[in-house]
Amino acid sequence: MSNVFDIKDKAIVITGGGGVLCGTMATALAKAGAKVAVLDLIEAAAAKVVDKINAGGGRAIAVKCDVLDKESLESAKETVNAAFGRIDILINGAGGNKKEATTSPDLSFFDLPKDAVRFVFDLNFLGTLLPTQVFGKQMAEHGAGIILNVSSMCAFSPLTKVAAYSAAKAAVSNFTQWLAVHICQNYSKDVRVNAIAPGFFLTEQNRFLLTDEKTGELTDRGKTIIDHTPMGKFGEPEDLIGTVLWLLSDAAKFVTGIVVPIDGGFSAFSGV
């Protein structure tokens, strides 16, 4: 059975690879024998992940890349092809929210700035679509490849406060299904497109929304999340790895067009 999960020597591009979740993915996939290109707008963050991978005997390169700039993406593709010879897998991990696009006692929905909302939508949706145009085109031309998008639990049911982020991640999930069908019908039935939808994981982006910065205790929002998560805890970044490995390997060779929740049961619980 281990053979169907084998990704040894696969060349993987992961955007947003300098972050907590995608950095953990990159490290785990390198340990499984893949060659990993860690792309991030912040080159130092990508380099930190790559240094850890290479120190552990893995193979990885750090590439500075802006997922909203097609020229930057094309340059990154050339760098990866020069280093690895090909690209087998794309993980679209770049994304995030913005405080100015989040409602609060100090900022009502009616006053959300258009530019902040557009930034969040662009980063999450266009930040998935544009890398797919660049790296996915190469896969379509070669007739084989795997694209894995990172959606969110709020794509299933929108979360309070984060109107732009919820809408953008819903767009990512919808795009995942659309692209899976489009690629199969027009290019190759051997290019698969899926997504994962993480539940609640503590990252630098949301840590102090869910826990108190001074005491470390759960905030009211953090308590609500835990109360609505049947497993009663936040996820650990490593909890993503099994599902990711499955979707990137031949174990899922007849799986395309799905969005997999990794959420401790959050999406299954009605609250009652």
SS3 call for 24: helix
Q: For the chain, give me the number of helices (H) and strands (E)?
A: 10, 7
Sheet order of strands, 11-15 included: 59-64, 35-40, 11-15, 89-92, 145-150, 191-198, 259-262
Residues with active-site annotation: 165
Please state, in angstroms and rounded to a whole number, the distance separating the CA atoms of residues 106 and 108. 7
Dump strand ranges (E) for 56-190.
59-64, 89-92, 145-150
Q: How far is CA 62 from CA 41, 87, 94, 115, in A?
A: 10, 15, 15, 30
Please state, in angstroms and rounded to a whole number, the distance separating the CA atoms of residues 198 and 261. 6
Cβ-based neighbours of 183, under 8 Å, separated by 6 or more = 136, 140, 191, 193
Does residue 119 contact residue 101 with C-beta atoms inside 8 Å? yes
Does residue 257 contact residue 193 with C-beta atoms inside 8 Å? yes
**What is the phi-psi region of residue 156: left when phi exceeds 0, alpha when psi lies from -120 to 50, beta otherwise?**
alpha
Please state, in angstroms and rounded to a whole number, the distance separating the CA atoms of residues 78 and 85. 10
